[in-house]
Amino acid sequence: MSLKTINAAPGFQDYLPKEYQDLLEDGPFFKQRKVSELGSFKEVIEEHPMCSGCAMTLFIRLVYLGLPSLEHTVICGTAGCGRLAISQGAVPFIYGNYGDTNAVASGLKRGLDIRFPDTPKDVVVMAGDGGLADIGFHGVMHSWFRKEKFTTIMLDNEVYGNTGGQDSGMTQKGMVMKMAPTGKKFEKMDMLGLAKTAGVAYTARIAPTNPTRVANTVRKAVLIAREVGPTFIQAYTSCNIEYAIPTPKVMDDARDVEKDRYGFVEYFSDDAKAYWEESEKERKRLRKAEKK
């Protein structure tokens, strides 16, 4: 399909839906928005069918905020709760087959690099714990071993929420779930350890308690993936339905779990550390120069 077919002709922009015009005039494209600006500009996602109080939705909203160039980003997902929100975002989204995210992203990223050698096109996988640690596990691991240059974000609600509450590999040991009627028999999978073993350039574990930190972590992960190699964010995004967390208590739960077992950690490979320190220095230098 021709690019012209799906671009608004200048004379007709005034007749397009208000949402589209707002995105053009006051959206997060071609400029990095900050958490402090939330509520003052048009976000790429506003309406969605997620459950009331869902922490995953807040996290996804913050991911969109952190992405360093939304106008050159494509997101890959798979079945699960998250895609119900992600597919409402004004960013191209590939909803593939079960657990195919990291293989699709590998082909997509390589193809985009062939077509756009001078424009960084960011590919971001955003899918659930079941999609990435269970059914898509081998694809995730092999994309890491191959050093594919894209970011994988796990929306870890520790359950198959979309199918009604079955245990995943990321569920804690002992939890009674719909397919673990006597309690889950094995430990929560150590995806962070596996990422390190596979040579992932940057790994972070995070809960959605500190919005600025979430946005910064996402930005960091995508920029490092662009230049150095695969990056991975494992995010606690509780399921308040299956874990029976009262809606007003969702953030209390996030803070408790963060304190107990999901504290913020990040790990850089040597290459990633060197790259990040250098690019931070450069950013500071540019900021100073701007002020002058």
Partner 1 sequence: MSDGTKEATTPQLRQDDPRDRVASPPAPGKEEIEKEKKGAAAQRVVDPDYLILEAPRKKEFITGSEAAKESIRRANVDIAIAYPITPQSETMQQVGYLYAEGYIKDYYRGEEEIGVMSAIAGASRSGVRCLTATAGPGLMRGLEAIVSWPGARLPSVLLVMCRVVNTPLAIQPDNVEISYLLNAGGIVLHGENQQDFYDFPLVAFMVSEKPEVTLPAAVAVDGFFVTHARGWVSMPAEDIKLPPRDCYHEAVPMMDNENPPIRIARDAPIQKSNFISYQMHASWQQEIWSAQERAKKWLDRWLGGLIEIVNPTAKTMIVASGAAVSQGREAVRQAGEQGLDVGLIKVKSLRPFPGKELDEALDHADKIVVPEFNYVGWLSKEIKANIKRTDRVVGGPRVYGGMTMPTELILETIKDSNER
Chain contacts with partner 1 (rule: CB under 8 A): 1-3, 5-7, 20, 23-24, 27, 29, 44, 70-74, 76, 83-84, 87-98, 100, 103-116, 121, 138-139, 142, 146
As measured in angstroms, the least distance from the Cβ of 141 to partner 1 is 8
Length of the chain: 292
Of 162 and 171, CB closest to partner 1: 162
The Cα 131–Cα 52 span in angstroms is: 23
CB within 8 Å of 37: residues ≥ 6 apart: none
70 and 64 Cβ atoms separated by less than 8 Å? yes
CB of 172 to partner 1, least distance (A): 29
Least CB distance to partner 1 at residue 237 (A) = 19
Residue 188 carries which side chain, given as an amino acid letter?
K
d(CA 255, CA 271): 32
Q: Which tokens belong to 69? A: 């160039």
Q: What are phi and psi of 166, to 5 degrees?
A: -90, 155
**For 168, how many CA atoms within 13 A lie in the half-sphere containing its CB?**
29
Which CB, 11 or 92, lies closer to partner 1? 92
CB-wise, 121 or 219, nearer to partner 1?
121
In the chain, beta strands by DSSP E: 73-77, 93-95, 122-128, 151-156, 202-206, 231-236, 265-268
| H or E element, residue 204 | strand 202-206
Closer residue to partner 1 (CB): 75 or 250: 75
Q: Rounded to the nearest whole angstrom, what is the least distance from the CB of residue 70 to partner 1 in the complex?
A: 7
The answer to whether the beta carbons of residues 73 and 66 sit under 8 Å apart is no
As measured in angstroms, the least distance from the Cβ of 236 to partner 1 is 25
Task: Between 29 and 243, name the residue whose CB sits nearer to partner 1.
Answer: 29
Give min distance, CB of 267 to partner 1, in A: 17
Nearer to partner 1, 62 or 104 (CB): 104
Q: Smallest gap, in angstroms, from Cβ of residue 233 to partner 1?
A: 20
| Minimum gap (Å) between residue 227 Cβ and partner 1 | 17
**Closest CA relative to residue 30, chosen from 60, 5, 67, 2:** 67
Residue 166 burial (10 A CB sphere; 0-12, 13-18, 19+): middle
Closer of 171 and 269 to partner 1 (Cβ): 269
CA distance 109 to 72: 12
Complex with partner 1: residue 139 or 208, whichever CB lies closer = 139
